[in-house]
Amino acid sequence: MFTGIITDIGEVRALEKRGDLKARIGTGYDTATIDLGASIASDGVCLTVIEIGPDWYDVEISAETVSKTNLGDWQVGKRVNLERALKVGDELGGHIVSGHVDGVADIVAMNDEGDSTRVTLRAPEALAKFIAPKGSVALNGTSLTVNEVEGCDFGINFIPHTKDATTWGDAKVGDRVNLEIDTLARYVARLAEMR
């Protein structure tokens, strides 16, 4: 489990396509404190550490994960949002995030408003019903509040701190973004269907 509060910006250092995709991610984390088998959310995708170096870790990404996320778009040198798994007693600053991405949204518009940036994203139709104004979503692993929703489009506002502390300062129209809907929204919708 994660909170969507990004604690490091990593860099994709190597990619190897085999049966699955293997990635090496450079990190500022103290890798001596990372165990083999640990879960680290990388652009919002919960990935398992399979090898560790002095300032990097390796993960294997299944074909299923590649098909449901934007990780197939990764290139060497790409910056990625990182968050280590929650420990008992950690502050819950965002919202509960599983790292199980539901699909990919597309950035369709960006406008600066003062020092902040308003971003409009288009969700897949099957996921749009789970997104509500003032609800939470995780985008590339970042816990964010939805401003408005119109059909499949929804708006997010990025303050300067978020743009500096995450990869959102690099975002541009046309980017594909990992989208994880709020777990509570998923269960509420499921209960409503069963009535």
Q: Which of the pair, 107 or 93, is modelled with greater confidence?
A: 107
> Over the chain, what is the mean pLDDT?
94
Question: What pLDDT is stored for residue 110 in this prediction?
Answer: 98
- Flag whether pLDDT at 186 surpasses 80: no
pTM of this structure? 0.93
pLDDT of residue 78: 97
Compute the distance between CA of residue 97 and CA of residue 141 in angstroms, rounded to an integer.
8
Q: What are 29-48's pLDDT values in tens digits? A: 999 999 999 999 999 999 99
pLDDT at position 195 over 80: no
Tens of pLDDT, residues 121-174 = 999 999 999 999 999 999 999 999 999 999 999 999 999 999 999 999 999 999
According to CATH, the topology of domain 103-193 is Elongation Factor Tu (Ef-tu); domain 3 (2.40.30)
Instruction: Please determine whether the domains at 8-84 and 103-193 fall in the same fold group of CATH.
Output: yes
The three-state DSSP-derived secondary structure of 110-179 is EEEECCEEEEEEECCHHHHCCCCCCCEEEECCEEEEEEEEECCEEEEEECHHHHHHCHHHHCCCCCEEEE
Euclidean distance between CA atoms 159 and 183, whole angstroms = 24
Residue 87 has pLDDT above 90, yes or no: no
Q: How confident is the model at residue 95 (pLDDT cuts 50, 70, 90)?
A: confident
Task: Please tell me the total number of residues recorded for the chain in this structure.
Answer: 195
Q: Domain 8-84: which CATH class?
A: mainly beta
Q: What is the pLDDT of residue 5?
A: 93
Q: What confidence score (pLDDT) does residue 18 get?
A: 82
The answer to whether residue 8 scores a pLDDT higher than 80 is yes
Phi-psi category of residue 73: left, alpha or beta, with phi > 0 → left and psi -120 to 50 → alpha: alpha
24, pLDDT greater than 80: yes
Domain ranges (residues) in the chain: 8-84, 103-193
* pLDDT category of residue 64 using cuts at 50, 70 and 90: very high
What does the pLDDT read at residue 56? 98
Report the alpha-carbon distance of residue 41 to residue 82 in Å, rounded. Answer: 6
Least confident of 31-45, 100-114, 176-190: 176-190
